[in-house]
Amino acid sequence: MWKEFKVFMMRGNVLDLAVAVIIGVAFGAIVSSLVKDILTPILGLLLGKVDFTNLFIVLSGGGPYTTLADAQAAGAVTVNVGLFLNTVINFLFIAFAIFLIVHSANRMRRQPEAAPAQPTTKDCPYCFTTVSIKATRCPNCTSQLA
């Protein structure tokens, strides 16, 4: 059983998966930092520091509450619309950040377009045999080629 486990662990797929998970965690930290430290402050500045955290609807449990924390401390049942909106906005930021990173990586990886290939053969005008572009005489009918 130990030998089977060792063979399983040493297969390329398992090692590739382990590397992918580690790289994924590191990439996730980069994307989270990009969103939290760069994109979110810019949007907060543009929107005038709007925070949806305290946007909620009280379903039951008492009177008006000024903050979500107060409502939850009082045991009120709430629909947390603001937290949901913050999560959606955060997801959109993360998706946009990943798009920017992937788009930039694809731009760097792009190969320049190759020039169209020059023809290497031509047809003999007399016997219509395909001959080398450099040929001066047809090997099939021995006609002189221009």
| pLDDT at residue 145, rounded to an integer | 85
- Domains, the chain, ranges and CATH? 2-110 (1.10.1200), 117-146 (no CATH)
| Amino acid sitting at position 96 | F
In three-state secondary structure terms, 58 is: strand
| pLDDT at residue 12, rounded to an integer | 65
Show pLDDT as tens, one digit a residue, over the chain (146 residues).
888 887 777 776 777 788 889 988 998 888 888 888 887 788 778 877 777 788 888 888 777 888 888 888 888 899 999 889 888 888 888 888 888 888 888 888 877 777 778 888 999 999 989 999 888 889 888 888 87
| Amino acid sitting at position 6 | K
